[in-house]
Structure 1
Amino acid sequence: MNALQEIHKKIKQNKMAPIYVLYGQEEFLIEEAVNLIINSALSFEEREFNLSVFDMNEVPIDVAVEDAETLPFMGEKRVVLIKDPVFFTGNKDKTKVEHDLKRLEQYLDSPSPDAIVIFTGNYDKLDERKKIVKLLKKNGEVIQTSLMDDKAISTWIKNKVTEADKEIDEEAIHLLLQLVGPKLMLLANEVEKLVLYIGEDTRIDSSVIRNLVPRTLEQNVFALIDMIVKRRTRDALLFFYDLLEQKEEPIKILSLLAGQFRLIYQVKELYKRGYGQNQTGTYLKVHPYRVKLAGDQAAKFSEGELQKIMNDLAEMDYKMKTGKMDKKLLIELFILQLNK
């Protein structure tokens, strides 16, 4: 059980901490945890009087602290949500808001038993040297939500389906990830729709996903590249024609092709230098799942082939934008040449 799951377990057992810090790149997991804390601490009626939200880009921290020290009204707890506390990090505060951090330190050293204070921020790390961060760790729960790799996302999807008393197989999970991508918010929405769609049936399989989950243009282009990589020329051309039938613009398809091949090249280079999947994702600021897929595709090309492909795509972009050649024909020739 990871730290976030442990927090969920404690909250559901009504073992609430006075302070929570939820930070990291996976915003959906942060939002999910915040909602769980609020729903567990306050009834719907109590929220009007006992729930406060403060953005540190607009409001000084001492205002939020004062609110946390105020007794709850018609309830047992106050919940104070404090967003973007950049002063927990080594990042420069670009706002002109003056924060009384001494006042905050005093509160963190002796938090109110009648309040739950939640800090949230989209940061890679906190500044462990700061006194306020040490006090947070001493008297509260500090949880980092990192972007999940493909294995962790697959487990997360399976758990979401299980929570709804349904089942999903590995093939269906893989297809869902292919169609939707790794963003948890989008995946959560699709899982909810799939569960409603199957009704009293218990199993979500690939056929259900194909019927219900739409494929974005980006995912379509990824599928097109996958066909090209596997030398399925006829399928790739037919798929391209289907995209044109759907009124997709060749220049947009070309742009996405160039972006994906650029990523494939970058991943290949970083893998050659000994970078792992997560390290590559952090370096390129790309989700680890996308890195894995690009890495799988990169194995099918040499470094020289990828450099030539990128040069060809740049030349195609120039010809399209200057009208020197038919847009559809350019992409047709590109697909055919790649499969020689």
Structure 2
Amino acid sequence: MIDLEVLEKEVKNNNLKNSYILCGLDEMLIKESIDMIIDKAIDLNFKDLNLVKFDGNNMIFEDFMNACETLPFMSEKKVVVVCRATYLKDKADSQGTKLFSQIEEYIKNTPSHCILIQYVLLNDKRDTLVKNKKIMKFDKSAVLVKADKLRGEKLNRKIMDIFNKHNKNIGKIELKYFADLVPNNFNIIEREIEKLVSYTNGREITRHDIDLLLPNKSENDAFDLVEYISIKKPEKAIDLMNELLHKGENMMLILSLIENQFKKLFMVKVYLQEKKSKEEMIGLLKVPPFICEKLILQSKKFTIQQIQKCMKLCVNAEKSLKSSSIDKKIEMELMIINTVRD
């Protein structure tokens, strides 16, 4: 098992393997690494003839096998990429389970002319490659790549590269401030940089610009908490709450953030029923377009009755936390558990 940094070194040294499985949270980082392998393995002039991509959600094994078996054209190698290979996840439907068994057997004898690349996205930041028993079965037949989030200077350098790509300078202090505030996801980072570049056209980026355009980090924590509730994983919501408490966040603040998130979701549900456009909702909610998109997607995981119930639970929990001497942490845990009960 290797990480993205080791993969980059091996590819630069022309040390290409026949089979890779990349696993992580950031799809943009994963795709950049795959593009790096493709550019190294295939002549640009014959790329379209020697590159085949499949959607892992609806792939037919026979088509996949034929793509791998077909010889490359005017090239030593061809590349077959399976995007979002959901059959590699621990929980898969019957079709995914069958496809996994077929590929598990086939990958042991991947043709030497073919570089097979599969990637799968993790569910959340607590999920890891080594916990996935299916993927670990490929440890001997493929190179397993942990596509971990970039941190520290690596993250800063990558963000600086994106600013440079947009021909925009940013000071070192402002760069670090931006990196500390923005969610560690390069799809999001790219969009936030584009907004900053457009907003500050012709002048330097300031901290005030970053504060004005970036979503508050606390809002992201609230979104994650409610997201776990929406997929009925209260244990993960409780883990995140404990993580925030460990970082020094106030219990009442956490509850307030959850309650405000449900209020926003309620408003979104109402606006959707009224057939309001996304642009109208952005103005009414006073949030950036990206946040509005996230709210719309999250709201679809609840009925309006479920949101109302969760809002009532938040109000009741607030009363209990303010007026009684009970264990506040237990009260919050019970509230979170009750939000997922029918």
Report the TM-score, using the length of structure 2 for normalisation: 0.55
Q: CA deviation at 1:79?
A: 0.5
2 CA distance for matches of 1:113 and 1:158? 36
Q: CA deviation at 1:29?
A: 1.6
Question: 1:42-121 residue pairs with structure 2 within 5 A?
Answer: 42-93=42-93, 99=99, 101-102=101-102, 104-121=103-120
Structure 2 partner of 1:218: 215
RMSD: 5.0
Say if 1:97 and 1:158 are closer, same or farther in 2 by CA, change over 3 A. Answer: closer
- Contact 1:20–1:117, Cα closer than 8 Å, also in 2: yes
Say if 1:99 and 1:25 are closer, same or farther in 2 by CA, change over 3 A. Answer: same
What stretches of structure 1 of length at least 5 have no aligned partner? Answer: 199-205, 226-255, 267-281, 321-326, 328-340
Say if 1:307 and 1:92 are closer, same or farther in 2 by CA, change over 3 A. Answer: closer
> What SS does the corresponding residue of 1:45 show, helix, strand or coil?
helix
2 CA distance for matches of 1:161 and 1:188? 11
> What SS does the corresponding residue of 2:99 show, helix, strand or coil?
coil
Structure 2 partner of 1:182: 184
Say if 1:311 and 1:77 are closer, same or farther in 2 by CA, change over 3 A. Answer: closer
- Contact 1:61–1:101, Cα closer than 8 Å, also in 2: no
1 CA distance for matches of 2:12 and 2:195? 25
1:18 aligns with 2:18: yes
2 CA distance for matches of 1:69 and 1:26? 30
- Contact 1:58–1:97, Cα closer than 8 Å, also in 2: no
1 CA distance for matches of 2:115 and 2:99? 20
2 CA distance for matches of 1:129 and 1:44? 37
Q: CA deviation at 1:133?
A: 4.4
Say if 1:76 and 1:108 are closer, same or farther in 2 by CA, change over 3 A. Answer: same
1 CA distance for matches of 2:236 and 2:24? 16
- Counterpart of 1:20, as a letter, is Y
1:321-340 superposed Cα distances (whole Å, 9 cap, x missing partner): xxxxxx9xxxxxxxxxxxxx
Q: CA deviation at 1:30?
A: 0.9
Say if 1:172 and 1:55 are closer, same or farther in 2 by CA, change over 3 A. Answer: same
- Counterpart of 1:70, as a letter, is T
- Counterpart of 1:181, as a letter, is P
Q: CA deviation at 1:40?
A: 1.4
What stretches of structure 2 of length at least 5 have no aligned partner? Answer: 229-234, 268-283, 285-342
1:190-223 superposed Cα distances (whole Å, 9 cap, x missing partner): 669999xx9xxxxxxx95354875843633xx6x
Q: Larger Cα Rg: Structure 1 or Structure 2?
A: 1
Structure 2 partner of 1:27: 27
Identity %: 22
Report the TM-score, using the length of structure 1 for normalisation: 0.55
